[in-house]
Amino acid sequence: MADKASTHDLNCLTIAELEAAAHERMDKQTRDYYNEGADSNSTLRENITAYAKYRIRPRVLRDVSRIDTSKSLFGFRNSVPFGVAPTAMQRLAHSDGELGTARACMTAGVPMGLSSFATHSLEEVAAQGGENPKVLQLYLFEEKEHSRRLIARAKKAGFKAVFLTVDTPMLGRRNEEIRNQFTLPPHLEIGNFPPGEHGDSGEKSDEETGREKAARPSMQRRPSARGYTDGDKRVLPTGPVTFHTHAPNPTLTWEEDIDWLKQECLPEMEVWLKGIATSEDALLAVHHGVNGIVVSNHGGRQLNGALATIDALPEVVEAVQGKIPVHVDGGIRHGTDVFKALALGADFCWVGRPALWGLAYKGQAGVELMLKLLSDEVSLCMALAGTIKVEQITRDYLMKIDTNGFVSRL
Ligand SMILES: Cc1cc2nc3c(=O)[nH]c(=O)nc-3n(C[C@H](O)[C@H](O)[C@H](O)COP(=O)(O)O)c2cc1C
Ligand SMILES: CC(C)CC(=O)C(=O)O
């Protein structure tokens, strides 16, 4: 027993405990920024609770002494069927930041999604090495030249794909972010867009330096912020690249932008869409020839009231009919959630906040811990359900409980 306990972090045996441990280690601004969703947070909550509607139908008396949790993606055999989703500004959590996440993903043999708005550059992340795939999350800016340059850099650095985020025509309303007057501390900058390289004076932006904070009590409501529709006029951002000004792009369309992106990326990097939530858009994605989609609602941070991703997944899977891979993120907090998502037809899963909690808890080692907890849970769940390989996980292993408590096969 003593031996077994010694391989564990007894303070963090679950993702929930990791979340609690991280809570104490983050300042309020960071904690609120990472943890909140949009508006009342109902989609954020439902992303998690919706998993409880599904129960597992375990099969027995199969030799489960060897469980293979691995899954191929971008030509690499990942150790598990999930990776770390792109989340912005990871050095807010810990000085290891995105480099710590990259090293943890490399050690665990899982893919890493890097946010366009990371606090390290994509070159620094690539330099951490590893055969595990790296994916660049892309906010396609209205000034396409910025995006063109970023895409070229990602190609050169060996990124396997871009995940174009399509659920941010405007930024969702995050009330704590507004209340806290969120600013990037002066010692940090957005690694991919350092001040001075994007048509600005070389001065850090207000958002990056925190200057004029007092003079601008609600920075998100600057006319150029474009996050809200309460009278602000949309203005093409011309200054330094900051996330409030550049991440949202209300002008993107299937016709204008997807072909452009494919031309920029292919064949070296695949083009995926992150933020698909309906069968109609999934079919359009197939029609426009993208390489894959991620069913996502941005961790409940964009359209509050949107369906939980695990509930949106089945209609997308049914529409796509295996023509392109379908991934899912949002609310995954246990290995059984990964199992359920795979059973409902996802080819792969991504986890966002748990990696941030790992980082906040112990930097790189904390992300490694998070990946180990989730990997062990996936492996145990597969064994107890009677599945030896990821490919064996199908709808036959699930039941659904409706609001009246009736249980049915899928
Ligand atoms: C703090 C934070 C920052 C995020 N930053 C980005 C980002 O820069 N680009 C993006 O496409 N998604 C971003 N996301 C969304 C994640 O990629 C992912 O969709 C979401 O976190 C999944 O939900 P989960 O946190 O419940 O696992 C962010 C999420 C969080 C929590
Ligand atoms: C750069 C930001 C817009 C990052 C983001 O997507 C988020 O905070 O949800």
- Give the tens place of pLDDT for each residue, 303-335: 999 999 999 999 999 999 999 999 999 999 999
Pairing of β 348-351 and β 398-401:
unpaired
Does ipTM come in above 0.95? yes
Handedness of CA 278, 284, 286, 290 (dihedral sign): negative
Tell me which residues have their CB closer than 6 angstroms to ligand 1. 33-34, 47, 85-88, 115, 117, 137, 165, 274, 296, 298-299, 301, 329-332, 351-353
Give me the phi and psi of 180, to 5 degrees please: -80, -5
pLDDT value, residue 198: 53
Q: Is 199 annotated as a binding residue?
A: no
Read off the pLDDT of residues 126-170 as tens digits, 9 standing for 90 and up.
999 999 999 999 999 998 999 999 999 999 999 999 999 999 999
CB neighbours of residue 75 within 10 Å? 8
187 is catalytic: no
Supply the residue whose CA is at minimum distance from atom 5 of ligand 2.
88
Tell me which residues have their CB closer than 6 angstroms to ligand 2. 88, 117, 171, 243, 247, 298, 301
pLDDT value, residue 245: 76
pTM comes to 0.92
pLDDT value, residue 353: 98
Give me the phi and psi of 295, to 5 degrees please: -75, 115
Give the DSSP H/E element, type plus range, for residue 243: helix 243-246
Ligand nearest to the CA of residue 90, numbered in listed order: 1
The residue ranges of the chain whose pLDDT is under 70 are: 1-6, 196-238, 240
Three-class SS state of 401 = strand
Ligand nearest to the CA of residue 177, numbered in listed order: 2
pLDDT value, residue 237: 66
Report the separation in Å between the CA atom of 325 and the middle of ligand 1, taken as the mean of its atom positions: 20
Q: Is 332 annotated as a binding residue?
A: yes
In the chain, % of residues over pLDDT 90: 84
pLDDT value, residue 7: 86
pLDDT value, residue 243: 76
Report the separation in Å between the CA atom of 164 and the middle of ligand 2, taken as the mean of its atom positions: 13
Instruction: Give the residue from 56, 2, 142, 6 showing the smallest Cα distance to 377.
Output: 56
| CATH pick for 8-172+248-409 out of 1.20.1560.10, 3.40.50.300, 2.60.40.4070, 3.20.20.70 | 3.20.20.70
3-state helix, strand, coil in the chain (%, to 5): 40, 15, 45
pLDDT value, residue 115: 98
Supply the residue whose CA is at minimum distance from atom 8 of ligand 2.
88
Query: What integer best gives the mean pLDDT of the chain?
Result: 90
